[in-house]
Structure 1
Amino acid sequence: MPATARDVLTPDALSLLQTVARAGSFAGAARELGLVPSAVTYRVRQIEDALDALLFDRASRQARLTDAGAELLREGERLLGEVDAVASRVRRVATGWESQLTIAVDAIISCGTVMELADAFFEVAPHTRLRLRDEALSGTLAALTSGGADLALGVALLEQGTAAGLHARTLGEIDFVFAVAPHHPLAAMPEPVSDEMIHKHRAVAVADSVQNGTGLTLGLLAGQAVFTVPTMVAKLDAQLRGLGVGFLPEPMARPYVETGRLVAKRVERAPRVVRPSYAWRETGPLGPGRGLQWWLKQLESPATRKALLDRHASALVG
């Protein structure tokens, strides 16, 4: 009896197809998997025969996905994610510890402090995989609400209507300063600097990491030229180089202002203050796993919350 789709679409088979697509050839996939190329070709052909669909275009030396192959990999990735989720839930029931914990970390959060917490976490939960996601602006909350993260650090925009099923606590308060390089034209301007004068110069902005929609921009003036960068550290670097101007978290800018590598300028507009939160999703009848409970316990400490917002002194070296 010929193999059916249910026979061939196993997690191992889907992983094999992902490897071929990533490697770009059957030979490359065989090297990654420690198999001979003919074995990879045979297994792919089995799947194609069962589905009655060509998954890879073999017209060139590269194994390029057909439209049908791309659709199968999209659905396969979802199915593998569901298998992992089932395994995680089973392990949760058995031990209370999550098999994986994902934390969305906003651009304003101290990376060094998060790493120190991760180090301590691995001491008590060596078998839980920890995944950190770099996020910014509305993307931090979106990572949580979409199910892509279990905990979000630095949610700055927790609006009414977007927080259904979420729990949130305030991390604290963080001031932003308008800062420019000492060789930038605005460094010599009298204070307070007007929006009209700021508008004449390029701003540096961190890109919103949200995947769907237009995202948010903060601190920009309508029609102002913008240099968009992926992280807050990249924004700091760009402003140190005089590539643009903008607001920076005061703790991140402080060591560079103190050494003269940045000049903090008073501006006409109201001071910018952000009150970020940390948030986590409802976790169903089982409640939070022991891993999430551990992180929430650490976040109860005022010293930990303060460090997450303030300890940016080593954002850049040199």
Structure 2
Amino acid sequence: MYPFTLQELQCFDAVVREGGFQGAALIVNRSHAAVFAAVAKLEDNLEVALLDRSGYRVTLTDAGRSFHRKAQSLISEMETLKLHARQLAMGEETHLRVVIGDTCPLNDGLELLSGFFASCPNTRLDLHFETIGGPRERLVDDEADLILHWVEKTDARLEWIDLGKVSFVPVVAPDFLPFPLSGTITPERMRDLTQCIIRDTARTVQQTNYYVVEGAPQCTVGDHLMKKEIILRGMAWGHLPRFMIEEDLRSGRLLSIAGKHFPGVDIDLVAARRRDRSHGPVATRLWEHIQTCAPDFGGDMR
């Protein structure tokens, strides 16, 4: 068995896809005779009949069908490598790493990104979902090119685009509280009741207390959707973004306990990136796209 070439594989693949040598010749921009010779040489080198030429249209033999599946993977990898090389030559990024944080309305965040990446088919979106301190940590540790979350705006390493405010409201299900609902409920009265909190995906967890009542029993979940379900079922209480529970508050399925001791919190949602890092052309266009869309962002938050 002798080595075969990528060109022979491409000719073979074109014959399979077109069902004949004439159509394949047009696809690979070679003569009919050249394609025929390339496939014949491939079969001779492999010592395997790949095509059945007895009918009006050539078809795959069983061996040819098995070989073609493997060949398609190799051809696809080669095309990907060629594209990668072209992007490198143009200075364009082959992928961008974006993190959506738990404070970002998911539908709005995905719409913002999909609208951009639809026009950049050659740059892969490497998308992750992180919570609490996770998005900022990924950005600071150079594991993300952009995040949709909140940041410490005093951090000189970062620049941001304001996308709007997200209000977090402390809520309970009806009949969850063993005492009357009022705006003067204290942390001490809530200490015996289970509080649902979001698991922080940061590897180095900050000591900041994110609305947690010290000493209270806890139920820990991975995202706000699970948190909302647990609170709706009367299994715990906790803070949820208003954009997620507006209808539940209106209908009475959830009750706010916001007041003097639990005022709720407003967070600045931003798109953020490193100020002290260079950004490629696709990342720059994404930043400009977000700046353009920012005034209309957050339909779910209004």
Once the two structures are superposed, residues 107-150 of structure 1 have per-residue CA deviations (whole angstroms, 9 ceiling, x without a partner) of 01111122222332232111211122111121110011111110
Once the two structures are superposed, residues 70-123 of structure 1 have per-residue CA deviations (whole angstroms, 9 ceiling, x without a partner) of xxxxxxxxxxxxxxxxx97x6555334321111111101111122222332232
Deviates most, 144-153 or 168-177:
168-177
Name the residue aligned to 2:270. 277
Name the residue aligned to 2:176. 184
The letter of the residue matching 1:254 is E
Cα distance 1:187–1:265, how it changes in 2: closer, same or farther (>3 A)?
Answer: farther
Deviation (angstroms), 1:258: 1.6
Name the residue aligned to 2:152. 158
Cα distance 1:302–1:167, how it changes in 2: closer, same or farther (>3 A)?
Answer: closer
Please tell me whether the aligned partners of residues 106 and 135 of structure 1 are also in contact (alpha carbons under 8 angstroms). Answer: yes
What's the RMSD between the two structures over aligned residues?
2.9
The letter of the residue matching 2:115 is A
Match of 2:297 among 288, 292, 305: 305
Q: TM-score, normalised by structure 1?
A: 0.61
The letter of the residue matching 2:201 is S
Alpha-carbon distance in structure 1 between the residues aligned to 2:276 and 2:96: 12
Q: Per the alignment, in what secondary structure is the counterpart of residue 301 of structure 1?
A: helix
Deviation (angstroms), 1:261: 1.6
Alpha-carbon distance in structure 2 between the residues aligned to 1:263 and 1:187: 14
Q: Per the alignment, in what secondary structure is the counterpart of residue 229 of structure 2?
A: helix
Q: Which protein has the larger Cα radius of gyration, Structure 1 or Structure 2? A: 2
The answer on 1:257 being equivalent to 2:249 is yes
Cα distance 1:198–1:292, how it changes in 2: closer, same or farther (>3 A)?
Answer: farther
Name the residue aligned to 2:202. 210
Name the residue aligned to 1:122. 117
Alpha-carbon distance in structure 2 between the residues aligned to 1:171 and 1:186: 39
The letter of the residue matching 2:113 is A
Number of residues paired by the alignment? 222
Cα distance 1:283–1:273, how it changes in 2: closer, same or farther (>3 A)?
Answer: closer
Alpha-carbon distance in structure 2 between the residues aligned to 1:241 and 1:306: 28
Q: TM-score, normalised by structure 2?
A: 0.64
Identity, % of aligned positions? 23
Q: Per the alignment, in what secondary structure is the counterpart of residue 113 of structure 1?
A: helix
